[in-house]
Structure 1
Amino acid sequence: MKLPNLNWVNQDSPYLQQYREGFRLLSFSGEMEDTFNRYHIAVVLVRMRWALLVALLLMLLFVVLDALSLPEAVRNQTLAIRLGLMSPMLLFCWLATYNRALRPHLQLIGGATSLAEGLGVAGIIWVARQHEFPLPYEGIILITVFFYFLTGLRFVTAALCGWLTFFAYLLVEVLSGLPGEVLLYNAVFLGSANLIGCFGCYFLEYATRQNFLAQGLLQDLAEKDFLTGLLNRRAFSERAERSWRQAQREEQPIALVMMDVDYFKRYNDHYGHAAGDAALRAVAEVIGRYARRPLDSTARYGGEEFVGLWYGLAEADILPILETLRCEIEALGLVHTQSDVAPVVTLSIGLAWLVPQTHQSLEDGLRLADVALYLAKEQGRNRVVSKRGANRQP
């Protein structure tokens, strides 16, 4: 996926910061790696299911082929490996892709399965060599290609499985007394398959990580306000709507807050738009720090107006938070000689606190917060005014 124009992306975006840091070692920092792990599982899940299903069908085909063509001594031990180890591991891994609880562990499960398949093939070759049966070694190359490119394994896991299988095969052939010149050619071919697999798997994961960052940057472009880095109005509405419905189901209180920078037009006219933008960024940074919980959110609603939602807080808890926020904005000390309220930039805050009822909508709550904001301005600005919903829990 092509990266968007980086000049359009909010410069505080964690996706942009990660892109600039780079990821040549195929690792992101902190929570970004956890987010990528979830993304990667979603990307490879369908491919992994089909690859494992095809592998299971091929395994059954080899079982039939072994049963029809191998001498009894070789056949019995070979079938024991295929049916006792390799097939059950493939089946378990395939079923794990349908279990949500196991999906976070699919790299580990897939890696264990791939290693079991590789060691299983090495074991079959060992059985054949012990009975002096001329079983071709190319099966080990097939299994190598399988887990590098088809199972959705990431580079480190796939490379570990590939090279462990390689050394297991070499050990089998050395212990079996394979002639040196034959062993050399076989080792070169299998080693080359691993090298090709490593390069291919590395660049596949690198491209996947690039796509992940590109999607994150595009999402930031779609959801974040370019100037302040807060959510934009559309993204806030979507998230607030989900929180509103959850609050209705769980009968939890919602605090909807409308905030307005006092006399901001005068500030812009007097100090210029560049200073106005810097002031909005400073105010937004403070506001954003007060909404860190998963169901809380803040956004730039338009111009100098901001909006916020806090989930599950009592009115007695949210009021001190908003008062502290207001004080912190004033404490920024952004000189505003054109304000009739204070010599610095200040914020008026309107709070609507309510337990959403089934007949109420998010728009009803926002209208109530807007009324509270109007009252805050009417009463002199630079203050918090609260309005309670008509229907609320005691």
Structure 2
Amino acid sequence: MAITDRRIMAGHPDDDGFAATFDAQVVWRMRWACAVAGAFSLGFAVLDTYWLPPDVHAPVLRWRLGVLLPALLLGVALTFVPVLRRHLQWLGGSVVLVSGLALVTMIWTAHRAGVDYPYEGISLFLLLNYFLCGLRFGVATLTGTLIALAFVLAELQVGRHWAQMLQSVMFVLASNLAGIVGSYISER
């Protein structure tokens, strides 16, 4: 261990020992983050019944309960399999990516139908990705950026009014950039 510039260095982040120690310390964070995200998803499913028209609610609910929620719950379950813990970062990243893309699809479905569904859920999901799930900088940046880019492409494809689209795209891209910077600082 070396102390330089008021920082304590426990090893280089690319060392296998660092990765194993980091994963052992964050496995509980990944479990709880996915479980809490799943609980929030169920809460939002209830709210969707009030603010989405039935023809939009049905496909959004299928994505929420058929992809997003099962991916999160599967992520929790797989962290208990010892052989998979060696691949915890890629496991967690895959769970976040699948869930995030399901969320993008839900928003795209509503926006395509002309329903002003809250896009801020993507920014909340990016918080999960960068700060709550225990993902390291590289994996978190990859998954967060893919989710943010998928959202941008979905918004461009829908062709909403340019001011609405610009606001939502800029908000999500700024959230992603803040997550990247914060994740980098936290890991270093």
TM-score normalized by structure 2?
0.90
- Partners of 2:61 and 2:167 lie apart in 1 by 28
| 2:51 corresponds to 1:69 | yes
Q: Aligned partners of 2:87 and 2:18: how far apart in 1? A: 14
1:164-179 aligned at under 5 Å gives the runs 164-179=146-161
Give the structure 2 partner of residue 47 of structure 1. Answer: 29
Q: Does 1:190 align with 2:172?
A: yes
How far the C-alpha of 1:4 sits from its partner, in A, is: 6.1
Which has the bigger relative contact order, CA under 8 A and spacing at least 6? 2
Q: Deviations over 1:126-168 (max 9, x none)?
A: 1102211111211111111111100001111111111111111
- 2:28 alignment partner AA: V
Q: 1:145 is matched with which residue?
A: 127
SS of structure 1 residue aligned to 2:82:
coil
The alignment status of 1:85 with 2:67, answered yes or no, reads: yes
* 2:82 aligns with one of 97, 100, 109: 100
Corresponding residue for residue 252 of structure 1: none
**Aligned pair count?**
184
Within-5 A mapping of 1:1-394: 3=2, 26-27=13-14, 33-206=15-188
Q: What letter is aligned with 1:188?
A: M
CA distance in 1, matches of 2:46, 2:161: 31
What is the percent sequence identity of the aligned residues?
Answer: 38
In 2, are the aligned partners of 1:52 and 1:90 still within 8 Å (CA)?
yes
After superposing on structure 2, the runs of 4+ consecutive aligned residues of structure 1 that deviate more than 3 Å are: 2-5
CA–CA separation in structure 1 for the residues paired with 2:3 and 2:155:
52
Map of 1:270 onto structure 2: none
Structure 1 unmatched runs, 5+: 6-15, 28-32, 207-394
Does the Cα contact within 8 Å between 1:47 and 1:152 map onto a contact in 2? yes
- Root-mean-square deviation over aligned CA pairs: 2.0
Return the structure number with greater helix share: 2
Q: 2:44 and 2:64 mapped to 1: Cα distance?
A: 9
Provide TM-score, normalisation by structure 1: 0.44
Unpaired runs of 5+ in structure 2?
none
Task: Answer with 1 or 2: which has the greater Rg.
Answer: 1
Contact 2:155–2:169 at 8 Å: present in 1 too?
no
**Alignment partner of 1:136: what SS?**
coil
Paired letter, 2:43: L
Paired residue secondary structure (2:83): coil
Amino acid at match of 2:88: L
**Contact kept in structure 2, 1:126 and 1:172, CA below 8 Å:** yes
Cα 1:4–1:189 change in 2 (3 A) is closer
Structure 2: distance between partners of 1:87 and 1:177: 28
Determine if contact 2:93/2:140 at 8 Å carries over to the other structure: yes
Give, in whole Å, the separation in 2 of the partners of 1:109 and 1:67: 32
Residue 104 to residue 143, structure 1, CA distance change in 2 (3 Å): same
- CA deviation map 1:230-289 (0-9, x unaligned): xxxxxxxxxxxxxxxxxxxxxxxxxxxxxxxxxxxxxxxxxxxxxxxxxxxxxxxxxxxx
Q: State the 1:187 CA deviation.
A: 2.0
Task: Choose between structure 1 and 2: higher strand proportion.
Answer: 1
Q: Distance in 1 between matches of 2:164 and 2:44?
A: 25
Query: 8 Å contact 1:96–1:106 — kept in the other structure?
Result: no
Contact 1:56 1:90 in 2 (8 A): yes
1:197-250 per-residue CA deviation (whole Å, 9 max, x = no partner) reads 0111112111xxxxxxxxxxxxxxxxxxxxxxxxxxxxxxxxxxxxxxxxxxxx
Query: How many angstroms apart in 1 are the aligned matches of 2:105 and 2:16?
Result: 36
